[in-house]
A and B are shown apart, each in its own frame.
Chain A
Amino acid sequence: MIDGVQVIDFHGHVGRWDRYGMIDEPARMLHAMDAAGIDRSCVSNIFYPDGTTGNDLTARFVAQHPERFIGFAYVSPLMPERMLPELARAMDSLHFAAIKLYPPYTPWPLNEAQWEPIYRFANARGLAVMFHTGVEPQSLPKFIGEIAPHYPRANFVVGHSGNTPVERGQAIAAAQAHPNVYLETCSTFRTPGVIEQLVNEAGADRVLYGSDMPLMDPRPQLGKIITAQVSDAAKRQIVGENARRLLRLG
Chain B
Amino acid sequence: MDRHGVERAVIYHALTEEVSPIQGNLLLEAWLGADGRLVPQWSVMPTAASLTQVQELHEQRRVSSVRLHDTRVAGLPFRPWAYDPLLAWLSAQRLPVWIPLSSADADELVTTLQGHPDLVTVLVGAHYVHHLQVRPLLAHLPNAHLELSRYEPIGEIEALRDEFGAHRLVYGSWYSQYAMGPMLFYLHHTDLREEELASVCAGNLERIFRRVAS
Contacts and interface: CB of A to CB of B under 8 A. Distances in A.
A28 B18 CA distance: 38
A215 interface: yes
B47 interface: no
Given A29-B154, A188-B150, A217-B156, A224 B190 contact: no
A216 B152 contact: yes
Contact of A192 (B127, B175, B185): B175
B181 A216 contact: no
Contact of B189 (A36, A191, A228): A36
A192 B176 contact: yes
A220 B153 contact: no
B153 A20 contact: yes
Nearest to A186: B152
Contacts of A191: 177-179
Contact of A23 (B129, B154, B175, B182): B154
Contact of B131 (A20, A217, A224, A229): A20
B188 to A, nearest CB: 9
B128 A32 contact: no
A117 B182 CA distance: 39
Main SS of the interface on chain B?
A: loop
Given A191-B177, A191-B179, A227 B153 contact: no
Interface string A181-193: 0000000111111
A36 B184 CA distance: 12
Given A32-B154, A227-B4, A219 B178 contact: no
| Interface residue range, chain B | 20 to 34
Q: Please classify how large the interface on chain A is, using the bins under 10, 10 to 19, 20 to 34, 35 or more.
A: 20 to 34
A239 interface: no
Interface string B174-207: 0111111111111001110000000000000000
Interface in A178-216: 188-194, 213-216
B56 to A, nearest CB: 34
A221 B155 CA distance: 13
Contact of A217 (B3, B129, B153, B180): B153
Given A22-B154, A190-B179, A222 B185 contact: yes
A21 interface: yes
A95 interface: no
B185 A219 contact: yes
Interface in B130-181: 131-132, 150, 152-157, 175-181
A220 B185 contact: yes
Interface centre among B4, B128, B189, B191 (most CB of A within 10 A): B189
Q: Which of A31, A188, A221, A223 has the most B CB atoms < 10 Å from its CB?
A: A223
A35 interface: yes
30 contacts: A20-B128, A20-B131, A20-B153, A21-B128, A21-B131, A21-B154, A23-B154, A188-B128, A188-B152, A189-B178, A191-B178, A191-B179, A192-B175, A192-B179, A192-B180, A214-B154, A215-B153, A216-B153, A217-B153, A217-B155, A220-B186, A221-B152, A221-B182, A222-B185, A223-B184, A223-B186, A224-B179, A224-B181, A227-B185, A229-B3
